[in-house]
Structure 1
Amino acid sequence: MNDMACVSLGLNGGQGEMFFVYTPEMVSLLSKVLTVNSKIEVLYKSLPRAARDCYSRNCLIDEIMMTNDIEGVRSTRKEILDVIEAPDDKKNKHSRFEGLIQKYLRLLESDAGDIPLNSCKDIRNLYDEIVLPEIDDCNKPDGEIFRKGSACVISATQQEKHKGVVPEAKIVEYMSKAIEILNSEQLPLLVRIAVVHYLIGYIHPFYDGNGRLSRFISSYMLQKDLNPLIALRLAYAIKNDKSQYYKAFDLCNDVKNRGDVTPFILMFLEMLEHAAASIFTRLDEGMEVLYYYNGLVGKIKNADERNVIFFLIQNKLFASERFDIQNIANLLDCSYGKAKKILEGLIKEGVPIKRKKPSRKYLFSVDLNDISDYLEKYQD
């Protein structure tokens, strides 16, 4: 433990004193993530507003669905979108996932302020807000802050894989150390996030919901250094490679590993790199297609009509959900009535805009091939 590249975490697990080693691979991964992040920043800022909003919202919904799905909690895109789009005067704090969704929304707000993560009580407050409403009564915390009973991780074959820290006093001690690591500026932020992500899984401070809690904390901290889109791809990346994710936990928990957390950090950074690379590719390809359509819609002289068609194209390229009239009105910065009139006028003129009403409101979209054919032949 005297090696300059070896860092002690100040915690003693069942397998010995926990530590990690700065390996060349770790340094390389840190560099790669930051390099791709810089490229994403440039691309993201060059996207039109509608494309940015659509892709951000799409990533947000995906992330919330994935973080729930990893732990077997069912959620739908519609119920998440309903909470996101509810007017402030109609928000219901008792809606499913309200607390979780509102916290994730803050990751996209540059002026949302900090979420306190300075004490065990702060962790409990965050847990109560984003996880507790979905926890069964039998699994709700029964200690002063965390759990007072034992908890363990069970495998798919119902075998005990890992036993969480006990008693509660020791949980408080270990979580306090994890919080200290999270806020320490002596280590690179991405390494701190990976370490604390592992520690929450190791400590298992609650009977249920530890995964959702640690993933949100990781995403929240990631957006401090990286583009929020990367922070909103963590659960998605984990879901896509769950076997490697859990394998890294198992390896670091193994007594034979002697407390070395390096494998988990490397796995975590690899997931971030893959997530960042996929985002860059998606934005780069989308930007190229947008450039083509931007040239086509330039033929339309009426600015409002041109903008509405281009908004619908961006929506098709970067989102799974269709626009409603209010979405268009917000982008045009006009009244609902004016946006409705423009859409109806375009449809009447023969612009191939699809309109459907699956519930209370009409939704609008375009088929890219159809709109391309229409614009290629368009004569004002």
Structure 2
Amino acid sequence: MKYFPLAKFKYVTHSDEDPRIVTEKEYQQRLNSYTTQKTALFPLLTYRSEEQTSEYPIFFLPLPHILDLAEQFRLNSKRIQKIAGHLPPIAISQFLNSLLIAEIFYTNEIEGVKTSQIEIGTVIQENNLIAHRQNNVSKRRLGSTIKLYQKTQHGKPIHISSLHDFRAIYDILLKGEITADRLPNGQIFRDQLPNGEALTISSATKVVHRPPASESKIQQALTTLITFMNDDYMPALFKALITHFFFENTHPFLDGNGRMGRYLLSSYISSKFDRFTGFSVATAIHANVQHYYKAFIEADNAENRADLTFFIESLLDILVSQQQENLVNLRQSMAELDNAKQKIRQWIEHHQAHFPERTSPELVGQVLFSLAQSKLFSYQTVLGIRDNEIIDNNKQKGFAKAQTRRAIDYLTTMNAIKLTSAKPKQHEILIV
């Protein structure tokens, strides 16, 4: 028999018994199956009548399609890492920065928060350029947000072991993004609202969920979540998706919960699988936003009794689809980079007899190859590699600063590259 949500099960079963009894029997069979993955997380679920319950523990059944999707996710992650392992550092950095622009843009877009991709790219560059300074965060909007993602990009995973860790992440991630009247009104999280107002999550036509009303209830819920997050009894991928649901179900803040929930998912996937997939979470969700919200609505429905089977299946579908798109883009860019290498070699062979003094073919090749990586793996001009970065990279390879500048000037006069920014200086390759 096809696996149906418990809320619909009574309509599809053929039995003379009371539908409530039939549904209860099915629930017990699912919950106590040998293959069921069960947790000690008890979300606050809402009935259609708007009555609520937290008596059901989160569980899911690893159905064949879910196991297939999970295996596809892991294989895609390995394929992505294998391709990345053959890419030069500039190409990897540029591609990750391009993904990061989209990730920040779309996580805000989902919430109706307007940002500019050029603005985000500018902040990424500023944060990179001042990374060695004591105050190494851009003062522009989203400087703090982007810095947090960049720490993940550079292999610094977050660790949550206390309730205050949630708040610390929230304060950094959403610095300057939350209006004063929507900042947490409790000791750590939100608390009861004045005048008996209830925090609700609504669709276009009705209330679909009311999260816990008091900070004490939030603290209880997130304390159990911390235990779950730091326990390794469940496979990492399933744990990440369940954590995402439970955090959003608890909704511990007045504003910014969606952005923080997606950041937590992004950071966890980046550390456990690969950064390319981790930095595509919001992009994937934005492309399937109605599917995403429908999965939450069904999971929040008390009639489904905290069965997250369909929620996990839906999110895996969304993430695997985005991985496949990333693989296509990486393979295409890698093929273009191989073609660019050939064009650069041919250009050098044709022109090297007229190179300026102390300008070797190796040096010219390094400059052109750096610019080719930047052009092919960056989807925003603002992210393009700057002359000073090329100079610093070449210095590590034994080329003096003056030599690299001379090579850049020569290539500009030969129309192999062109100046795209005077301050800071930045060039674009023209021969690929």
- Distance in 1 separating the partners of 2:74 and 2:400: 41
Q: CA deviation at 1:247?
A: 0.8
How many residues are treated as equivalent by the alignment?
364
Q: Select between 36-45 and 78-87 the one with higher mean Cα deviation.
A: 78-87
Per the alignment, residue 70 of structure 2 pairs with 30
Match for residue 190 of structure 2 among 136, 147, 150: 147
TM-score of the pair, normalised by structure 1: 0.89
Q: CA deviation at 1:335?
A: 6.3
Residues 142 and 184 of structure 1: CA distance in aligned 2, closer, same or farther (over 3 Å): same
Per the alignment, residue 129 of structure 1 pairs with 172
Per the alignment, residue 50 of structure 2 pairs with none
Per the alignment, residue 105 of structure 1 pairs with 150
Letter in 2 for 1:25: H
Per the alignment, residue 52 of structure 1 pairs with 92
- Distance in 1 separating the partners of 2:170 and 2:201: 19
Match for residue 314 of structure 1 among 373, 379, 385: 373
Match for residue 217 of structure 1 among 264, 271, 276: 264
Per the alignment, residue 49 of structure 2 pairs with none
Q: CA deviation at 1:41?
A: 1.1
- Distance in 2 separating the partners of 1:43 and 1:118: 34
Q: Deviations over 1:311-338 (max 9, x none)?
A: 2222221102233212322332366654
Q: CA deviation at 1:146?
A: 0.8
1:324 correspondence with 2:386: yes
1:6 correspondence with 2:36: yes
- Distance in 2 separating the partners of 1:258 and 1:51: 47
Per the alignment, residue 377 of structure 1 pairs with none
* 3-state SS in 2 of match to 1:298: helix
Residues 109 and 92 of structure 1: CA distance in aligned 2, closer, same or farther (over 3 Å): closer
Q: CA deviation at 1:340?
A: 3.5
Contact 1:50-1:331 at 8 Å conserved across structures: no
- Distance in 2 separating the partners of 1:129 and 1:194: 23
- Distance in 1 separating the partners of 2:114 and 2:403: 38
Structure 1 gap ranges (5+)? 373-380
Q: Deviations over 1:122-172 (max 9, x none)?
A: 111111111143101111001111111242213345x42221112211111
Residues 92 and 259 of structure 1: CA distance in aligned 2, closer, same or farther (over 3 Å): closer
Q: CA deviation at 1:94?
A: 4.7
- Distance in 2 separating the partners of 1:4 and 1:273: 27
Match for residue 294 of structure 2 among 235, 243, 247: 247
* 3-state SS in 1 of match to 2:424: coil
C-alpha RMSD of matched pairs (Å): 2.1
TM-score of the pair, normalised by structure 2: 0.79
* 3-state SS in 2 of match to 1:134: coil
- Distance in 1 separating the partners of 2:118 and 2:423: 13
* 3-state SS in 1 of match to 2:187: coil
Letter in 1 for 2:88: P
Residues 138 and 54 of structure 1: CA distance in aligned 2, closer, same or farther (over 3 Å): same
* 3-state SS in 2 of match to 1:291: helix
Highest CA radius of gyration, 1 or 2? 2
Contact 1:182-1:192 at 8 Å conserved across structures: yes
1:74 correspondence with 2:114: yes
Contact 2:43-2:246 at 8 Å conserved across structures: no
Structure 2 gap ranges (5+)? 1-30, 47-54, 193-197, 353-360
Match for residue 220 of structure 2 among 173, 177, 181: 173
Letter in 2 for 1:303: E
Contact 1:316-1:365 at 8 Å conserved across structures: yes
Q: CA deviation at 1:310?
A: 1.9
Contact 2:367-2:408 at 8 Å conserved across structures: yes
Residues 69 and 306 of structure 1: CA distance in aligned 2, closer, same or farther (over 3 Å): same
